[in-house]
Amino acid sequence: MFSFLKRNPVKKLEKQHAALLEQAMQAQRNGDIRTYSKLSTDADAVYKQIQEAQKAETNT
């Protein structure tokens, strides 16, 4: 009934994913490849969480 009041966890994850990608891009531009690699890996993990959340959302 009040499902419109629930927060969407996918939006939060997408925002986090975009922030990680932005940080990774800045690290790459600064020549810090190690940090770029770590941030890219973290962003990939968040993307997988997004996919799982979307799959769970469509199954309900």
Q: How confident is the model at residue 5 (pLDDT cuts 50, 70, 90)?
A: low
The residue type of 26 is Q
In the chain, where the domains are located: 7-59
- At 13-58, the pLDDT tens digits run 999 999 999 999 999 999 999 999 999 999 999 999 999 999 988 8
The reported pTM is 0.83
According to the model, what pLDDT value does residue 1 have?
A: 53
Q: How far is CA 44 from CA 5, 31, 34, 41, 59, in A?
A: 29, 20, 16, 5, 23
